[in-house]
């Protein structure tokens, strides 16, 4: 049984560019959440998708958007990248309260 | 908004010593979860506590949920080098399924 997978593993972008990160949830999980983890900090909640709709959103600007597909996989899009967007982006899938995290995508913005 | 705070931020112990990290929420929580993140890794779920005053044990790890459901602790007995990592507590955001994480306690264990 595959766990949560994310792609790509690492990504380097320049300021102003746009990026798309992808996530496949654990088998049978219908809910996907995205978190941003800056160095030395705890994960910060970006948003959560359930049944292809954004169910809950954290305090992130509209530059951060997402999508969930019928197979429950998800994408995170970030527009107009800023240097401060450099972080580890974690996807987590769940059926209930417990979150199962993927390995993350390390985004570096130059 | 809801805040989850953890202390200490860092802890360095000799192998065999005990370790405790404390978590406090600004609001009452329906449940609290603990995660461990190894260096270079991703958070891994350890346990969920739901009931007021609940105590759960996993081998050398003991987790407690406070009576008021606003604080929690994780105690590790006789630490081992495999315990190295950052321990996070997390509570639900606005009674939803997303989590509000503390900043974590980084544990370093010296052989």
Tell me what pLDDT residue A1 has: 60
What φ, ψ does residue A83 adopt, rounded to 5°? -55, -35
Given a contact cutoff of 8 angstroms between Cβ atoms, the answer to whether A34 and A90 are in contact is yes
B88, B4 Cβ separation under 8 angstroms: no
CA distance B74 to A100: 20
Domain B13-94 annotated CATH 2.60.40.10: yes
Separation of alpha carbons A60 and B10, rounded Å = 28
Chain B closest CA to A41's CA: distance in Å? Answer: 5
- Partners of B108 on chain A (C-beta within 8 Å) are none
Separation in Å, CA of B81 to nearest CA in chain A: 20
Distance, in Å, from the CA atom of B51 to the CA atom of A12, rounded to the nearest integer, reads 44
For chain A, give every domain's residue range. 5-109
Contact call for A96 and B97, based on CB within 8 A: yes
As assigned by CATH, the class of the A5-109 domain is mainly beta
Residues above pLDDT 90, as percent of chain B: 92
Closest residue to B97, CB basis, from A44, A59, A97: A97
Query: Chain-wide mean pLDDT for chain B?
Result: 95
pLDDT in tens, A36-69: 999 999 999 999 999 999 999 999 999 999 999 9
Residue boundaries of the structural domains of chain B = 13-94
Instruction: Enumerate the residues of chain A whose CB falls inside 8 A of the CB of residue B38.
Output: none
Per-residue pLDDT tens digits for A90-100: 999 998 878 99
Measure in Å the smallest separation between the Cα of A16 and chain B Cα atoms: 27
pLDDT at B27: 93
Q: How far apart are CA B4 and CA B70, in angstroms?
A: 9
The predicted pLDDT at position B71 comes to 97
The answer to whether the Cβ–Cβ distance between A104 and B48 falls below 8 Å is no
Which of B25, B66, B26 minimizes the C-alpha distance to B49? Answer: B66
Please say if the pLDDT value at position B56 is more than 90: yes
Half-sphere exposure of B83 (CA within 13 A, CB side): 28
pLDDT, position B47: 96
Question: Tens of pLDDT along B63-109?
Answer: 999 999 999 999 999 999 999 999 999 999 876 778 999 999 999 99
Q: What HEC string does chain A produce? A: CCCCEEECCEEEECCCCCEEEEEECCCCCCEEEEEEECCCCCCEEEEEEECCEEEEECCCCCCEEEEECCCCCEEEEECCCCHHHCEEEEEEEECCCCCEECCCEEEEEC
Mean pLDDT over the full length of chain A:
95
Q: What percent of chain A has pLDDT over 90?
A: 93
């Amino acid at each position: 049984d595959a766990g949560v997978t994310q792609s790509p593993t690492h990504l380097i972008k320049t300021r102003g560019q746009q990026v798309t990160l992808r996530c496949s949830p654990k088998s049978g999980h219908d809910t996907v959440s995205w978190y941003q983890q800056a160095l030395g900090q705890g994960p910060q909640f970006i948003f959560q998708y359930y049944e292809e709709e954004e169910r809950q959103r954290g305090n992130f600007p509209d530059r951060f958007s997402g999508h969930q597909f019928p197979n429950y996989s998800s994408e995170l899009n970030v527009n107009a990248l800023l240097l401060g967007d450099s972080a580890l982006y974690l996807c987590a899938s769940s059926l209930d309260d417990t979150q199962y995290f993927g390995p993350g995508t390390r985004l570096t913005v130059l | 908004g809801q805040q989850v705070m953890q202390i200490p931020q860092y802890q360095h112990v000799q192998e065999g010593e005990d370790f405790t990290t404390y978590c406090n929420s600004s609001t009452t929580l329906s449940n609290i979860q603990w995660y461990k993140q190894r260096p270079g890794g991703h958070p891994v779920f350890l346990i969920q506590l739901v009931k007021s005053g609940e105590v759960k044990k996993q081998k050398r790890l003991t987790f407690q949920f406070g009576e008021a459901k606003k604080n929690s602790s994780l105690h590790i007995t006789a630490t081992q080098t495999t315990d190295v990592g950052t321990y996070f507590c997390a509570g639900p955001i606005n009674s939803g399924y997303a989590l509000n994480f503390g900043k974590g306690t980084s544990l370093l264990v010296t052989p």
